[in-house]
Amino acid sequence: MTANSEASKRSDSSDPIAPLHVAIIMDGNGRWAQTRGLDVSEGHHAGFENLRRVVADFAKRGVSYLTLYAFSTENWDRPESEVNGILELAIAVIAHEAQQLNENGVRIKHLGRVDRISPELRDELEQAVTITASNTGLTLGIAFDYGGRAEITNAARQMIADGVSANDVDESKVAEYLYTADMPDVDLLIRTGGDFRISNFLLWQTAYSEFYSSEILWPDFFGEHIDKAFESFSERQRRFGKRA
Residues annotated catalytic, as ranges:
27, 75
Amino acid identity at 51: L
Q: Is 69 in the site for ligand IPE (CB under 6 A)?
A: yes
Residue 62, C-beta contacts closer than 8 angstroms, at least 6 positions apart: 17, 18
Q: Which of 19, 29, 85, 233 binds ligand IPE (CB under 6 A)?
A: 29
DSSP classification of residue 122 = H
Instruction: Give the separation between CA 230 and CA 41, rounded to whole angstroms.
Output: 30
Selected binder of ligand IPE within 147, 184, 193, 219 (CB under 6 A): 193
140 binds, among Mg ion, ligand IPE, none (CB under 5 to 8 A by kind): none
For residue 31, state whether it binds ligand IPE (rule: CB under 6 A).
yes
Q: Where are the beta strands (DSSP E) in the chain?
A: 21-25, 65-72, 107-111, 139-146, 188-191, 210-213
| 27 lies in the site for Mg ion, by CB under 5 A | yes
Q: How far apart are CA 208 and CA 97, in angstroms?
A: 32
Q: Which is nearer to ligand IPE, 34 or 102 (CB)?
A: 34
Q: Is residue 145 at the binding interface for ligand IPE, with CB under 6 A as the rule?
A: no
**Which does residue 86 bind out of Mg ion, ligand IPE, none, counting CB within 5 to 8 angstroms by kind?**
ligand IPE
201 sits near Mg ion (criterion: CB under 5 A):
no
Specify the pairing of strand 139-146 against strand 65-72.
parallel
Shortest approach of ligand IPE to residue 30 CB, angstroms? Answer: 2
Among 70-78, 93-101, 176-184, 227-235, the segment contacting ligand IPE (CB under 6 A): 70-78
Nearer to ligand IPE, 177 or 221 (CB): 221
Would you give the distance in Å from CA 175 to the centre of its chain?
16
Least separation in angstroms between residue 40's CB and ligand IPE is 6
Query: What is the spatial distance between Cα 10 and Cα 36, in angstroms, rounded to a whole number?
Result: 43
Residue type, 74: E
Q: Does 75 bind ligand IPE (CB under 6 A)?
A: yes
Strand partners, 67: 23, 141
Q: Does 72 bind ligand IPE (CB under 6 A)?
A: yes
C-beta of residue 210 within 8 angstroms of C-beta of residue 233: yes
Q: Which is nearer to Mg ion, 26 or 117 (CB)?
A: 26
C-beta separation of 212 from 229 below 8 A: yes
| Of the candidates 192, 227, 234, the residue with the CA atom closest to the CA atom of residue 210 | 234
Task: Choose which of 28, 141, 147, 184 interacts with ligand IPE (CB under 6 A).
Answer: 28
The binding site for ligand IPE (CB under 6 A) comprises: 25-31, 47, 69-72, 75, 86, 193, 195, 197, 199
